[in-house]
Amino acid sequence: LSIQYARENNIPFLGICLGMQLSMVEFARNVLGLKEANSVEFNENTPDPIIYLIDEFIDASGSRQVRTTTSPMGGTLRLGEYECETKEDSNLRKAYDSSVIYERHRHRYEANPAYREQFESKGMEITGESHGLIEAVEVKDHPWFLGVQFHPEFTSRLQNPNPAILAFVKAAAASQNG
């Protein structure tokens, strides 16, 4: 409900990992009209698996990893630092001031690329990608709405905040000052 409220009322939003995933589920249900959209983490039988178990990815060492629902849960994480290509003119690109960033991950569920065209046709843009995996999303007509699959808090420090977190705080402060 809070994600929908932030999206509909132009309130700055930063969704990290599960927060990004839930922002996509919210958008799918309320904008795309996929009322039963969900993550397979919560409903394995959802007719619209917006978020699904990563079945194949390139790991941090460059090796191809394959997973199934029967793989041991401890070995199914996408873990470590990965490259992410940022989309030009996105809030993500502006925050980092770079076309390629490196951020840390710790997750086993990922945005389902089968829904990409539906999301983009209704205004949720894919603004970060890594080897075909969706790393970041933004709502096109929103002043500052960013969901990231990675964990910017892992590298944020008081004297050197992560660019995504700093940009979010600045956007939130600007929205309060009108």
Known catalytic residues?
A: 17, 151, 153
By C-alpha distance, which of 20, 39, 27 is closest to 164?
20
- What distance in Å separates the CA atoms of residue 115 and residue 122, rounded to the nearest whole number? 11
Helices (H), strands (E): how many in the chain?
Answer: 5, 11
The partner residues of 108 in beta bridges, in order of sequence, read none
**Identity at 17, one-letter amino acid code:** C
- What distance in Å separates the CA atoms of residue 166 and residue 81, rounded to the nearest whole number? 20
- Residue 107 CA, chain-centre distance (Å), reads 11
Tokens of 149: 């699959």
Question: Within the chain, where are the H helices?
Answer: 2-8, 18-30, 91-96, 116-121, 163-176
Following CA atoms 121, 123, 129, 132 in sequence, which dihedral angle do they give, to the nearest 10 degrees? Answer: -20
